[in-house]
Structure 1
């Protein structure tokens, strides 16, 4: 657990968490905690049992905001895209007048990126801290969205150039991840909308106008992932069309080869009959003449098929 006094974006590290129980004369306290620290923080700051349970829950947390007397409990989901796999990480926030507590199970990149931004913007209030943190979380969805779009474009190019059975697995997996993200984006957008519209005493009314901008970005993110979902449907159709096209191409080749060998089979069938009198049967060099004729017929038909672009 790290306790910092933040004033005009400048951090002062503290050792005793009890110092944060009383609002400072200037600035606010930021307590960056792990799950194990909740055992100490809950009795000191009067955190609700259900809120602590939500933080400790191993299951995926639904974004939400709960308003209590003296503090708000907010859950938003940070997003990461590592090794072609998407991860969501819950960011639990306790917002009060003189402090803000962030509780995470894993390291959140937005918290590290936030520190220089606080100094640049000379942040001295927890609600502004919440604004910049939420803004970074939503902006990161755009970054991940761009990477997903690149992956879709690469997958589409691979399918058009050389279709493989593994492409279908990639399409299904990526589409499932996009639909999963869509389910998360809805509640998260509602949370940001609440910060924008609802009368919340712990958030400066002037600051709520800025939350509106974040809300609009959240809507854009949601619409972007709607587009990605449609693109995945188109990609699956392209895969199926490509597979069907390859099957048709193979059948066309087989049909052409079968057609080429049909007259050759006809000729060999005639000269394979058990009759004594067949034209050319006893002719000297008749077998050579017949083989030459068959080769000419075969190559002639092959040439005609290639000229008509049937092969």
Structure 2
């Protein structure tokens, strides 16, 4: 769908938005604004990473925003993020995206309210809105980390912790990479025409999000290490209990093995008090092992 949101007569510049563009529509726009073939090709790549480049009198930006709808176990670039391509010059801005994006609709509805006089101001607001899509998910991920941390240390078996932690770590790592790759976009938006208070605000938001996701990444790694440590500790505890039981039964099994051989000439076999004596000896050995373990602090 092709629509014009801003006009030169009313706003001083033109803003065209293409949602789910057909190849013919894209070629018409490319011919009208003399867009480079390589830039148009990049628009069609669904998994293209963030980039900023200047081509023949215009700037070309690809920004990836946090997807509004995604699967619970999403862990790839296409599943976690949506791509927005932006062609920008002093006279026009063209936004191209595969899915309808609420941030584009909200910005278009409030365009006159924001009183954008130049495409630079609109571009800054657009990039800031794109960055803001990562803000709410960071709080949600932080709550998820707290939840899994509680389950790790309280030894809850209600969820598959390792699987959930894996997908959470993948999600954080992917967002961090998207933010790192978006640095050139933020830097060029802020330094173009000397920058201003609004572009500095966008850079501050970028730095804040970068620090938040770096912190979340460190937290999830520490939580994974804690998970493996507690799992190892539980395994060691189980092995300790089994070892204690085996130590109790080893001498008893040895005695039973001897008298279970049934050789013909074994005087204890015909002795009247043989059975109770052996039982008393086995009980005494068990009690001796118990107090030995108590003394060592193993029980």
TM-score over 0.5 for the alignment?
Answer: yes
The residue that corresponds to 1:10 in the other structure is: none
Runs of 5+ unmatched residues, structure 2: none
TM-score by length of 1: 0.76
* 1:93 and 2:86 aligned: yes
* 1:32 and 2:25 aligned: no
Give, in whole Å, the separation in 2 of the partners of 1:237 and 1:121: 47
Runs of 5+ unmatched residues, structure 1: 7-19, 200-204
Summarize deviations over 1:218-259 as a string: whole Å, max 9, x none: 122222222233223322321221222122111111111012
2:202 to 207, 214, 225: 214
Give, in whole Å, the separation in 1 of the partners of 2:143 and 2:166: 17
Give, in whole Å, the separation in 2 of the partners of 1:120 and 1:68: 32
Contact 1:260 1:301 in 2 (8 A): yes
1:72 to 59, 65, 88: 59
Summarize deviations over 1:124-180 as a string: whole Å, max 9, x none: 543332222211111221222222222333333333333889544444444344333
Instruction: Please report how far the alpha carbon of residue 27 of structure 1 lies from its aligned counterpart in structure 2 after TM superposition.
Output: 4.7
* 1:242 and 2:230 aligned: yes
Summarize deviations over 1:69-125 as a string: whole Å, max 9, x none: 2x3322211112633335122211122344322101223232233245435434454
Structure 1 residues 300 and 116: CA distance shift in structure 2, 3 A: farther
1:157 to 132, 150, 156: 150
1:175 to 169, 193, 198: 169
* 1:197 and 2:191 aligned: yes
